[in-house]
Amino acid sequence: MLANSLFAQDKHVIDSLSARLKITQVDSSRARLYYKLMMAVVDADSVAAVKYATNGLALATNSKAYKLKADIENNLGTFYNYRGNRRKSDSLINSALKIRLAIKDSMGAAYSLMNLGHNNYDQNNFVPALRYYTQAARIRQRINDQKGLSGSYIWIGNVYLEGIVNYPLALSYYQKALDISLQMGDELNQSYIYSNIANVLMYQKAYDEALRYYLKSLQIKLKLNNVRGLGSLYNNIGNLYFYTSKMEEALAYYNKSLAIRREQGDKVGIATSYINIANVYRQQKILPKGEKMLLEAIELSKAFNFKQGLRDGYLGLFDLYNDKKQFEKAISYYRLYDAYKDSILNETSALQAAEIQTKYETERKEQQINLLNKQTVIQQLQINERNTTIIIICIIFIAAVAFGYLFYNRYRLKQLAILQNAVIKQQDIATKGIIDAEENERKRIAGDLHDGVGQLLSATRMNLDTLLERLKHNNDENLELAYKTMAMVDESCKEVRTIAHQMMPNVLLKMGLVSALRDFVNKIDSQRLKIVLETSGLDKRLSNNVEVVLYRVIQETVNNVIKHAKATLLDIQLMLEGDEVSVTIEDNGIGFDSNDKENFEGIGLKNIITRVEYLKGTVDISSSPGAGALVAILIPLN
């Protein structure tokens, strides 16, 4: 129905091409019209498609239209691949590839390499397939064919998904393809990539996320009426529901896929759908239907040597006859499966085969014993049943104990983590309390100095001014003493203002960290210590906590340098990058042994580390005697 609908939609195109063909005389032009007719009917009428392609090839060969001949051969080869004729498909595509390489048609050569990769992929020859896909990707990268490169990445990802199983590599190639497709607005390619990403997620058992990607792909394919793609997508969604034990939903999607694949004449897809539907019937215990579907899939796969179909069909019959307790048949199909499987038999399957063989031999011997002594057999079966019951009870008990232990251990670890988080939180609260208390005390002392001692000193100075006026007419000795006293009072006022400013600088509160640091640096005697302050990225103010801590840390470090380092040059770099603030303070002083942790508290470094750790930051102190010191601070803002 889908193919007929599509054919009806394109009928006017076919009629138009046929009409032009009747009046066209030039062989190369007629060949191109036959090629277009082939592409117009390829999904709806395979017989007509082959006839048009054959006529087009003959005309293209006679007219030496080599590029057109390669195009027809390549697409006809793809047609035969879908119909299961691998030998003819390979022959046509290889012929197209030789022509395209000879005429330097790089884009066409890449398409032919991709199709040869598909042929090998369908036969589970994954290493040759990967080789062809990679060669095509190199050509497409060289000629900047972004759309084609995206397609190559998709199929390289498919090899790593289905063949050379490596899920991270598969996802990385799918993501590369998706980035290109999104940039180009290529919705069809996006639909394929979403489906492939969903396949990876399904194999990783992330079923909800996989279904989300399948539905994104489905929405695009329905919008674009991508019939062939819908056949594969419905099959994949059916697989997801099968793996999540939703058999009714799985069967519905498998049947949707089968209907499309029948309309398309996709023999590979039909055989795959038969096997998938049979697996559902087996899970639903509808074994006769499952058996019929598997036998049909095997016959169809034999017709065009579809190895994967044969392998999966034989394995399905092995499981089905095992369920029916027809162990001899099961073993015979397992042997057929073993001849077609791609890789070394895994341990689980080997154990299952051995178990079936044992069951078969046991049943045969029990039948022989039954002929001799039926009662003995019955007693033996009762003993076996009792022993099996005991074993099952023991297994359940052991499993319950193990589960209980794992649950308790998980609970204990969870409680330990909660306790550790609570301790860390309390430590943070305590540290914040100490720092806040210290800052509040600084504010109080600064206020007392300014409002109390500062006012007293100002009043004292006023009195001294008055006293000086009275002493101007007295002896010079008293006047000199008065001037000295006035100078001492002025110096005390300055000292009180300086201390109050350092305790809680107003410029930090009003103008922010950068202005406060520049004000602080400008008040230091440059003759004694030259300070170079560089800032970057701090156009906006930081939070109050961060600014106060950074100011105190830099202030403490500079004071340490002045007191202990005997330095003449100090570089300070303050930078905001992303969500991190970094501070680098480097001097050329006498240095100290930074590996001697006992000295940290003595020179105030321990206080710096405590403040930075409060903000979840890090401090790296590097110094050695005679080599100066470097303090590097990094504080996250999130």
Residues 306 and 84: beta-carbon distance below 8 Å: yes
Give me 136's structure tokens. Answer: 């095509």
DSSP character at residue 145: -
Q: CA 631, CA 406: separation in Å to the nearest integer?
A: 47
Domain total of the chain: 2
Which pLDDT tens digit goes with each residue over 36-58? Answer: 888 888 777 788 888 888 998 99
The two most distant CA atoms of the chain are separated, in Å, by 149
> Is residue 444 situated within a structural domain?
yes
DSSP H helices, 449-475, are: 454-471
CA distances from 406 to 174, 191, 250, 413, 416 (A): 38, 43, 35, 10, 15
Residues 563 and 622 in one domain: yes
Residues 413 and 450 in one domain: yes
Q: CA 48, CA 41: separation in Å to the nearest integer?
A: 7
β-pairing verdict for 629-636 and 580-587: antiparallel
CA distances from 106 to 14, 64, 76, 144, 413 (A): 30, 19, 19, 11, 61
> Is residue 429 situated within a structural domain?
yes
> Is residue 613 situated within a structural domain?
yes
Specify the amino acid at residue 492. S
Q: Is 513 left (phi over 0), alpha (psi -120 to 50) or beta?
A: alpha
Instruction: Give the residue from 481, 504, 527 where a domain finishes.
Output: 504
Residues 511 and 443 in one domain: no
Residues 378 and 446 in one domain: yes
Instruction: Give the residue from 504, 537, 560 where a domain finishes.
Output: 504
pLDDT at 124: 80
Residues 258 and 280: beta-carbon distance below 8 Å: no
* 111 half-sphere exposure, CB direction, 13 A CA radius: 22
Residues 513 and 488 in one domain: no
pTM over 0.85: no
Q: CA 230, CA 635: separation in Å to the nearest integer?
A: 53
Residues 49 and 36: beta-carbon distance below 8 Å: no
- Indicate the burial class of 359 (C-beta count within 10 angstroms; 0-12, 13-18, 19 or more): middle
Q: Cβ–Cβ contacts within 10 Å for residue 534, how many? A: 10
CA distances from 87 to 94, 178, 264 (A): 11, 33, 20
> Is residue 138 situated within a structural domain?
no
Q: What is the CATH number of the domain that holds 588?
A: 3.30.565.10
CB-based burial, 496-520: b 16+ in 10 Å, e otherwise: beeebbebbbeebeeebbbebbeeb
Cα angle 28, 32, 33; round to 5:
120
pLDDT at 358: 42
Residues 443 and 560 in one domain: no
Give me 151's structure tokens. Answer: 């397609």
pLDDT at 376: 66
Dihedrals phi, psi of 305, to nearest 5 degrees: 55, 50
Residues 587 and 565: beta-carbon distance below 8 Å: yes
Low-confidence ranges of the chain (pLDDT < 50): 1-9, 342-361, 363-364, 367, 450
Angle between helices 11-23 and 27-41 (to 10 degrees): 160
pLDDT at 5: 40
Q: CA 117, CA 111: separation in Å to the nearest integer?
A: 10
Q: CA 21, CA 32: separation in Å to the nearest integer?
A: 10
Give me 122's structure tokens. Answer: 């369908």
pLDDT at 635: 85
Q: Cβ–Cβ contacts within 10 Å for residue 35, how many? A: 25
Would you call 187 helix, strand, or coil by DSSP?
helix
> Is residue 456 situated within a structural domain?
yes
> Is residue 19 situated within a structural domain?
no
- Going 202 to 207 to 211 to 212, the CA torsion angle's sign is negative
Q: CA 7, CA 41: separation in Å to the nearest integer?
A: 7
Residues 379 and 476 in one domain: yes
pLDDT at 352: 42
Would you call 504 helix, strand, or coil by DSSP?
coil
Query: What residue numbers bound the domain in which 562 lies?
Result: 506-636
Cα angle 440, 444, 446; round to 5:
115
Residues 509 and 549: beta-carbon distance below 8 Å: no
pLDDT at 357: 34
Residues 545 and 524 in one domain: yes
Instruction: Give the residue from 458, 480, 504 where a domain finishes.
Output: 504
Residues 495 and 520 in one domain: no
> Is residue 219 situated within a structural domain?
no
Q: CA 538, CA 428: separation in Å to the nearest integer?
A: 27
DSSP 338-356: HHH-SSPPPHHHHHHHHHH
Residues 447 and 529 in one domain: no
Q: Cβ–Cβ contacts within 10 Å for residue 170, how many? A: 23
> Is residue 569 situated within a structural domain?
yes
DSSP character at residue 175: H
Give me 502's structure tokens. Answer: 């350092």
Residues 499 and 419 in one domain: yes
Residues 513 and 554: beta-carbon distance below 8 Å: no
Dihedrals phi, psi of 6, to nearest 5 degrees: -65, -40
Residues 35 and 72: beta-carbon distance below 8 Å: yes
Block residue for tokens 């054959």:
54
Cα angle 326, 332, 336; round to 5:
140
Residues 520 and 558 in one domain: yes
pLDDT at 351: 42
Question: What is the strand order of the sheet 580-587 is part of?
Answer: 530-536, 569-577, 580-587, 629-636, 618-623
